[in-house]
């Protein structure tokens, strides 16, 4: 589950025309506010942070530093760099990087790993939006003085202070609903990925669980990806749905069945999208050239994902327009995956993303109940803390 170096992603974006990972600014180390224990988030999201601390995500940095069995050392040796936590190749899929005033214990520079995959890995670096997000009510927000020292010791920039003051003026005399809409819009503009932003949230998941690094896979025994099913994780240890819960008796609620259906379809589409994004990085074999392991793995993932997506369209009897259109677009590749060329990939990626976003927006208008029989059989990965 190792992610890209910025320069690798940039080079591939320029050469293929695909914007491979558009979320780089959301994870700017200079804008990360949490440390090892997630203290900045836990003031309001106590049980969400506890759920994170019980997950594999929390321990992902530790798994690299302790390196049981020596697999990490073997990989970094083959890649020719010192250790996993001081090299950018392993960043973001295995840990959260932060810039501080002091040198990092691993990198011996101001920027380095501070924790595993964290709140800000998924929801975006919070320095700019945290001071807008951390208000429960309109009254609380209107009484907030950004010039006073914040509880979390986060330094609020002058630009954000001006934004807060402007927003407070606009919201005087407005309703709670007006407040929630305004805060949602402003925090998104500042880089927050909100729980309602289905595509952006689960796009992060597939971005790591489909390994976007040909060199890593070709030169080492690192896996090219995992058999990733979004429902299995969001119904298991990753679930942290506590909004409105009783703090004395916390309840980590399951997603409504309607949301599970939406996530199931969106996940199937994203699986193909990220397999295509990854194969765009591979060297396509020419003539009698032997394909690389990365190319073969990603070609298989593309074929597997297309097959599953076409089966999904068939199960839904073509009633989901976005899925039906994609099935028609990809049917030829389902019959002959070896006909896929590098030049086709950007158009296919664009079509998949566009269709998925449109589907998510329209999901409530479709009858997806036929999927329930398959969804109920998906085994959760781990246990949801305080799950009912």
pLDDT of residue 113: 94
Range name among 142-151, 224-233, 290-299 with the lowest pLDDT average: 142-151
**Angle CA 362–363–366, to nearest 5:** 100
* Pick from 325, 202, 346, 195: nearest CA to 266: 202
pLDDT band at residue 183, thresholds of 50, 70 and 90?
very high
With 0-12 / 13-18 / 19 or more C-beta atoms within 10 angstroms meaning exposed / middle / buried, residue 158 is exposed
* Pick from 42, 44, 43, 40: nearest CA to 32: 40
DSSP string covering 198-255: HHHHHHHHHHHHB---HHHHHHSS--SB----HHHHHTTTT----TT-BTTB--BPPP
* Pick from 210, 222, 281: nearest CA to 84: 222
Question: Is 13's pLDDT higher than 70?
Answer: no
Question: Is 125's pLDDT higher than 90?
Answer: yes
Question: Is 20's pLDDT higher than 70?
Answer: no
pLDDT of residue 10: 32
* Pick from 294, 113, 93, 60: nearest CA to 208: 93
pTM of the model: 0.90
Element (H or E) spanning 99, and its range?
strand 96-99
Question: Is 148's pLDDT higher than 90?
Answer: no
Rounded mean pLDDT of the chain? 90
* Pick from 123, 198, 228: nearest CA to 353: 198
For residue 93, give the DSSP letter.
T
Buried b (16+ CB within 10 A) or exposed e, 375-388: beebebbeebbbbe
Range 259-288 average pLDDT: 97
Residue pair 279/245 in contact by the 8 Å Cβ criterion: no
Range 265-288 average pLDDT: 96
307-332 residue pLDDT tens: 999 999 999 999 999 999 999 999 99
What are phi and psi for residue 98, nearest 5 degrees? Answer: -135, 145
* Pick from 48, 55, 37: nearest CA to 244: 48
Question: Is 139's pLDDT higher than 70?
Answer: yes
pLDDT of residue 151: 52
Q: Terminus-to-terminus CA distance in the chain, angstroms?
A: 30
Q: Alpha carbon of 45 to those of 34, 133, 276, 280, 302: distances in Å? A: 13, 12, 36, 39, 38
């Amino acid at each position: 589950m190792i992610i890209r170096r910025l320069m690798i992603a940039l080079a591939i974006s320029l050469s293929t025309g695909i914007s491979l990972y558009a979320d780089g600014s959301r994870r700017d180390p200079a804008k990360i506010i949490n440390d090892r224990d997630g203290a900045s988030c836990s003031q309001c999201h106590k049980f969400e942070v506890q759920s994170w601390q019980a997950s594999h995500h929390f321990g992902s940095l530790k798994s690299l530093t302790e390196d049981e069995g020596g697999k990490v050392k073997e990989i970094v040796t083959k890649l020719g760099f010192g250790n996993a936590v001081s090299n950018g190749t392993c960043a973001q899929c295995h840990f959260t990087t932060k810039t501080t005033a002091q040198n990092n214990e691993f990198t011996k520079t101001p920027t380095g790993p501070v924790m595993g995959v964290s709140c800000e890995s998924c929801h975006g670096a919070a320095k700019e939006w945290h001071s807008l997000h951390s208000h429960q009510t309109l009254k609380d927000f209107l009484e907030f003085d950004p010039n006073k020292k914040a509880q979390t010791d986060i330094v609020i920039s002058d630009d954000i202070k001006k934004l807060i003051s402007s927003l407070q003026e606009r919201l005087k005399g407005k309703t709670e609903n007006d407040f929630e809409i305004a805060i949602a819009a402003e925090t998104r503009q500042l880089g927050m990925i909100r729980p309602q932003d289905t595509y952006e949230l689960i796009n992060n998941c597939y971005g790591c669980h489909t390994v976007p690094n040909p060199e890593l896979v070709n030169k080492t025994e690192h896996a090219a990806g995992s058999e990733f099913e979004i429902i299995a994780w969001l119904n298991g240890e990753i679930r942290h749905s506590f909004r409105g819960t009783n703090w004395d008796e916390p309840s980590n609620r399951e997603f409504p069945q309607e949301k599970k259906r939406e996530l199931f379809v969106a996940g199937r589409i994203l699986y193909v999208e990220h397999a295509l994004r990854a194969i765009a990085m591979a060297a396509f074999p020419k003539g009698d050239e032997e394909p690389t392991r990365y190319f073969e793995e990603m070609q298989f993932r593309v074929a597997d994902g297309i097959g599953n997506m076409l089966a999904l369209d068939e199960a839904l009897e073509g009633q989901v327009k976005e899925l039906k259109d994609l099935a028609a677009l990809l049917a030829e590749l389902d019959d002959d995956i070896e006909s896929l060329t590098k030049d086709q990939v950007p158009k296919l990626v664009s079509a998949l993303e566009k269709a998925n976003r449109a589907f998510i927006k329209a999901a409530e208008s479709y009858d997806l109940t036929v999927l329930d029989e398959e969804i109920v059989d998906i085994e959760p990965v781990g246990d949801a803390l305080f799950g009912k």
